[in-house]
Amino acid sequence: MTRAHLSRRSFLTLAGTAAATVAAASVWTRSRHARHGAGTHAAAEGAWRSSGGVLELDLVAEDTTVAIPGGPPRALTYNGLLPGPVLEVHPGDAVRLRLRNRLDQPTNLHYHGLHIPPGGTADNVFLSVDPGASQTYAFTLPADHPAGTFYYHPHRHGTVADQVFGGLGGVLIVRGALDHIPEVAAAREQVLFLKDLPAGGGTAGVMGMGMGMGGMMLGREGPVLTVNGKVNPELSVPAGGLLRLRIVNGSNARFWRLALEDHPLHLIASDGGALEAPVELQELLLAPGERAEVLVQANRSAGRYRLLNLPYARVRGGMGMGMRGGMGMGMGRGPGAGPGPGAGRGQQSQETIATLTYAGSVAPLPLPRRLLPVQPLPEPVRTRRFELNHGMAPGQGLVFLINGRPYDHHRTDTRVRLGDTEDWEVMNTGVMDHPFHVHINPFQVISRNGTPEPYRAWKDVVLVRPGETVRIRTRFADFAGRTVYHCHIFDHEELGMMGNLEIDA
């Protein structure tokens, strides 16, 4: 079947259902692929899995209708799906993704968190794919790549915030050692892709929806909270069993502060893969771009438990209020878009985002005691400082700055040597939270305002709050080339909070 044989209407009707994955598959995938459905032990539900060491897939970015109660009638999607298809690979796999741009603006793809080359057709965020054009991304995952939950999304400077806010993004799973730990393998696995959308009105993210300058400055949020593109979906776990949640914050600016009624969350993996041992949490805060894997033990009485998103304020002091009043804060000027609750500076009240039920039962499963080693990095050869703040630019209003400068495509801000280990001291002297993200190489957080981190983990996004200095340590391993670091609130990135990093061979 070719795409022409499937009418637009029938395609759109299928979109958002499991059937759509199948339809999209037969339409767009050419050769080697395999889809593994629900219940397949070693694959995420509905995931596109590599087979024979190859993952090959077409990803079509376009503006499509979506069916989200209270949400926008249209959104930006990959293959008609919001979120995009789950991709699943193994270390050593060859990946070949053809991005086809059916949007009316340039786009591209970034493989957030993957340790792959920053140039060529790998994780090259400087590629730009024009409307109507295609780009094939081809790379091989290193044979020793850590297992974990990663995130693909557009990264074309100038359009990335609109496109992520508009719906684009998806989960990329690398399956490996973590998945072979018996207690982890015994758990039921569930991906949770978290995304907020504007209320009904137009296409999410397209001019007019939440585009007020105040919204841009603070970072646009939508009032409709979705999990895997659904409002308050049902999750289930057998009594006595374990549920493994792979959680991705795919929002443009919203922070998600999660708590599950009556159940602690046992953190087993951070952005870059496994921790050394589970860490028990009562709640989990994820800034944009951050991921976490947690285990939930179904050891309460059978019932229904709400997964809550708790209030979080990511703008300090009077600034948010001042902007809200003085600069037309709200969900923008689009048709039907009024000032939404929680717009801009963070959610004010708790909301149920999913509901967990116990269904069936199994013999009680234990939590793992140990996970995988997280090797400490050697002492750094140097320490650099990065100051995050904002300022006013004539005629432009608020700009976001790293070390006093807004992003310049042509400038090299930071030049490092391949193989070196460095400490970066990232300090926030402004009034808004900034999640700082570095491409290609993960880092370990060493300390926060001088206080050592309680446990070692591989991260690629770290929240730096106003007044904080966070020391991270990273090694520029394996791949030379040019890449970026930036604030992962994409509106801040677009307004300047990004730098170019050159890794010299």
Q: Can you give the binding site for Cu ion, defined by CB under 5 A?
A: 112, 434, 439, 487, 489, 492
Write out the two tokens for 465: 């709050």
> Within 13 Å, how many C-alpha atoms sit on residue 450's CB side?
1
Element (H, E) at 460: none
Chosen from Cu ion, ligand C2O, none, partner binding at 487 (C-beta under 5 to 8 Å by type): Cu ion
Q: Which is nearer to ligand C2O, 45 or 502 (CB)?
A: 502
Interaction partner, residue 103 (ligand C2O, Cu ion, none; CB < 5-8 Å by kind) = none
- Interaction between residue 74 and ligand C2O (CB under 6 A): no
What distances in angstroms separate CA 117 from CA 94, 150, 174, 230, one per listed residue? 13, 16, 17, 34
Nearer to ligand C2O, 110 or 188 (CB): 110
The H-or-E segment that residue 423 falls in is strand 421-428
Longest Cα–Cα distance of the chain, Å, equals 66
Q: Does 254 bind ligand C2O (CB under 6 A)?
A: no
Instruction: Write out the binding residues for ligand C2O, residues 111-170 only, by CB under 6 A.
Output: 112, 153, 155
Handedness of CA 483, 50, 267, 227 (dihedral sign): positive
Among ligand C2O, Cu ion, none, what binds residue 438 when CB lies within 5 to 8 Å by partner kind? none
Q: Which is nearer to ligand C2O, 278 or 289 (CB)?
A: 289
Q: Which stretch binds ligand C2O (CB under 6 A): 61-69, 128-136, 207-215, 481-489?
A: 481-489
Round to whole Å and give the CA distance between 436 and 111.
16
459 binds ligand C2O (CB under 6 A): no
Q: Please choose, out of 227-235, 256-264, 369-377, 484-492, the segment that lies near ligand C2O by the rule CB under 6 A.
A: 484-492
Residue 272 Cβ vs Cu ion, minimum distance, rounded to whole Å: 12
Cβ(307)–Cβ(355) under 8 Å?
yes
Residue 475 interface partner, choices Cu ion, ligand C2O, none, CB cut-off 5-8 Å depending on type: none
Q: Determine if 486 is a binding residue for ligand C2O (CB under 6 A).
A: yes
Dihedral sign for Cα 425, 430, 435, 441, please: negative
Structure tokens at 450: 């001088």
From residue 289 to residue 328, the character string flagging contacts with ligand C2O as x (rule: CB under 6 A) and all else as - is x---------------------------------------
| Spatial separation of the C-alpha atoms in residues 251 and 255, rounded to whole Å | 8
Comparison of 14 and 160: residue with beta carbon closer to ligand C2O:
160
DSSP code, position 199: P
Cα–Cα dist 183/395, whole Å = 58
- Min. distance of Cβ 164 from ligand C2O in angstroms? 8
Burial status of residue 363 (CB atoms within 10 A of its CB: 0-12, 13-18, 19 or more): exposed
Considering beta carbons, is residue 263 or 434 the nearer one to Cu ion?
434
CA 310 to CA 308: how far, in whole Å? 6
| Residue 155 interacting partner from ligand C2O, Cu ion, none (CB closer than 5 to 8 Å by kind) | ligand C2O
Q: How far is the CB of 23 from ligand C2O (least distance, A)?
A: 28
291 binds, among Cu ion, ligand C2O, none (CB under 5 to 8 A by kind): none
Provide the b/e sequence for 232-244 (b: ≥16 CB within 10 Å). eeebebbbebbbb
Does 439 participate in binding ligand C2O (rule CB under 6 A)? yes
Applying CB under 6 A, among 74, 110, 115, 459 the residue interacting with ligand C2O is 110
CA 490 vs. chain centroid, Å, equals 11
Looking at the Cβ atoms of 15 and 160, the one nearer to Cu ion is 160
- Which of 501, 372, 371 is closest to 441 using CA atoms? 501
Name, in order, each residue with C-beta under 8 angstroms of 427's C-beta and a sequence gap of 6 or more.
385, 386, 387, 388, 464, 468, 469, 470
Nearer to ligand C2O, 287 or 445 (CB): 287
Chosen from Cu ion, ligand C2O, none, partner binding at 246 (C-beta under 5 to 8 Å by type): none
Size of the site for ligand C2O (CB under 6 A): 10
Segment near ligand C2O (CB under 6 A); pick from 49-57, 239-247, 258-266, 480-488: 480-488
Which is closer to Cu ion, CB of 279 or CB of 431?
Answer: 431
**34-63 mask for ligand C2O (x: CB under 6 A)?**
------------------------------
Q: How far apart are CA 155 and CA 124, in angstroms?
A: 9
Measured distance CA(245)–CA(232) in Å, rounded: 16
By beta carbon distance, the residue nearest ligand C2O is: 112
Q: Which residues sit at the interface with ligand C2O, rule CB under 6 A?
A: 110, 112, 153, 155, 289, 437, 439, 484, 486, 488
